[in-house]
Chain A
Amino acid sequence: MSSRLMIEPVTRIEGHAKISIQLNDAGEVESSRFHITEFRGFEKICEGRPFEEMPGLMSRVCGICPVSHVLASSKAGDMLLGVSIPVAAEKQRRLVNYAQLLQSHALSFFHLSAPDLLLGMDSPPATRNILGLLERDPDFLRRGIRLRQFGQRVIELVGGKRVHPGWSGPGGVHRRFTTVQRDEILTWIPEALASVTAALDRLKPILDSFREEIANMGNFPSLFLATVNPDGGLEYYDGKIRIVDGKGNIFADDLDPARYFDWLGEASEDFTFVKFPFYRPLGYPGGFYRVGPLARLNVARFAGTERADRELREFKERSAGAVCESFHYHLARLVEMLHAVERIEQLMSDADLFGDSTQARASLNRREGIGSCEAPRGTLFHHYQVDANGLMIKANLLIATGQNNHAMNLAVDQAARHFLGRIVPGIRPDEGILNRLEAAIRCFDPCLSCSTHALGQMPLIVEWIAADGSVLGQIARRS
């Protein structure tokens, strides 16, 4: 009799999701799926609203990466106005984007994934968390907390608020950057560089102990998509799109993000609310691709900052082609954090950042605007259509986590087939094995928009469900 194993909710990710594993009559894994079970409907909510409101509205999509939505939305607004924004505004946006990359990656690495990496995939779940880290390695945890605090502080200083900063909008930004802000930011830099370097020094030597996980938690060839600068280097705010294949060869290049709909399609499946974007020339699902830290490091030829370039060269030596193991999203995240701190430091001595002019003023000049940037989890597109009065007719958001959706499904399926293998009815799978299925998802750091509070306790329930719907077995874990 076939049955299904459910992991719900998936833990230590940003949002609510579940994993289901369909077993065949012999108890072997037949297929696995990652279900994103929350629905928010932001694209519908904004219809009829003035486009000037969009950055503020879109910021609310997420409490972790609101800056990405503010920036993509602001850039779509810039296009609607038909303006080129002042250089000071662009530099401020770049600065805050680096700060967000830093704080978001710090949360993912130090708080969500470090318990697996430092305490072990099989360590007791009751202590496989931030308090377990507090016991085992307080200095590591202190550094992680301070790094996130630094990123959040930069966002607050420049954007006015840590979460949902509203300083950027169509045409530029609403505040000037000051030397007082610069001086405070500079005081953080030495510690931040030392902390990211320490984390890299901590992670790289232990990767060998995760050989089985590296090989079986999302290790497959795919396309990788990211923004690059004109020289093919890392770029987070504005540039053309490059796609490389699993061998690291350039597959498509110089793609205009404002024409994303020409080369990206969006499929949907009935088991999840998140779409499945694909590279149109290859169709769905053959044209699936990965975005985010791993993709960016695979796509970019260089970082453009000294320390990050050194790490990037070492990273690329892990494979003759692209680095295809999703586990290495963790390492890529740290390299990007190092790059972000270096870029923040560079910007502090950039005179353009302090310019008086921060806003290009214009009225509506176009009826369609598209903005894109690199969010912590990957490339983000905002596409707006407005009427003659500037009221939103239609919005389409192409979110980074969605673009990794197919890859996440493949990753959990690969992990389930390898680690679970065959389940004997009545015998519970080992908790450490189930944790590996969740860890396969955590590599991607999916952001499922979790800014609302959860009421009471959220149980983690693993159930075996027979084809007739009866529950064959259950494991419950409570917060």
Chain B
Amino acid sequence: MRTTLLIACGNPLRRDDGVAHEVLRIIARTPCRELRSVQQLVPELAAEIAGFERVVFLDADVRSMHPAIEPVRTAMPGSPLTHAANPAEIVAISRSLFGFNGEALVCRIPARDFSPGESLAPDQLQTMYEAASELERLLEHDL
């Protein structure tokens, strides 16, 4: 059994920015999956992913046209601008400090409307289910 931590990131009060949380709601809970919703990535997640064999970061992406799952890129230089982190930083810190040696993926979910509000844009529903299907395909052999 392969253990996976799915981390949905985004602000659900900024419409499509919260799409990752909606995708996470569709994903079935199983003993080998832990689901986590956060507004933004913070450093202590580096300690928390260490106990898993795979981590998948789900996030809205204004540049994507279709849902896509891809490896987390090698750590980029950290942003000097904010206390929020990106998946590459979290994974790099986790590998270095907490012994994470699993697979790290990011699921990019296309998003367009980041205005204040709780509902997704109407055309996001299809995207949301596509992303969930992609993830289920990835995870189906874990059990």
Contact = CB atoms under 8 A, between A and B. Distances in A.
B125 to A, nearest CB: 21
B62 A455 contact: yes
A149 B47 contact: yes
Contact of A149 (B38, B40, B44, B77): B44
A130 B78 contact: yes
A479 B43 contact: no
Nearest to B38: A163
29 contacts: A12-B80, A12-B82, A64-B83, A107-B43, A125-B80, A126-B77, A126-B80, A129-B77, A129-B78, A129-B79, A130-B78, A130-B93, A131-B75, A131-B78, A131-B89, A138-B97, A145-B97, A148-B44, A163-B39, A451-B11, A452-B11, A453-B10, A453-B14, A453-B39, A455-B62, A455-B114, A458-B81, A479-B79, A479-B80
A144 B44 CA distance: 9
A6 to B, nearest CB: 15
* 3 closest A-B pairs by CB: A129-B78, A149-B44, A479-B79
B136 interface: no
A146 B50 CA distance: 13
The residue among A14, A63, A125, A451 with the most chain B CB atoms within 10 A of its own CB is A63
Given A145-B47, A453-B11, A129 B83 contact: no
B92 A107 contact: no
A186 interface: no
A456 interface: yes
B96 interface: yes
Interface string B17-34: 100000000000000000
Contact of B47 (A12, A146, A479): A146
B62 A134 contact: no
A127 B78 CA distance: 7
A451 B39 contact: yes
Nearest to B114: A455
A460 interface: yes
Contact of A134 (B47, B48, B96): B96
Interface residues of B, number: 32
A112 interface: yes
Contacts of A107: 42-43, 83
A477 B82 CA distance: 13
Interface residues of A, number: 40
A142 B44 contact: no
B46 interface: yes
Interface in A226-277: none
Interface of B: 10-11, 13-14, 17, 38-40, 42-44, 46-48, 62, 75, 77-85, 89, 92-93, 96-98, 114
A112 B46 CA distance: 17
A112 B80 contact: no
Label chain B's interface by main secondary structure: loop
Contacts, number: 98
B77 A127 contact: yes
A316 interface: no
Nearest to B86: A479
B62 to A, nearest CB: 7
A452 B116 CA distance: 10
A460 B39 CA distance: 23
A347 interface: no
B40 A142 contact: no
A100 B96 CA distance: 27
A63 B40 contact: yes
A454 interface: yes
A105 to B, nearest CB: 13
B37 to A, nearest CB: 10
Nearest to B44: A149
B76 to A, nearest CB: 9
A9 interface: yes
A460 B38 CA distance: 26
Most B Cβ at <10 Å: residue of A453, A477, A479: A453
A115 B79 CA distance: 12
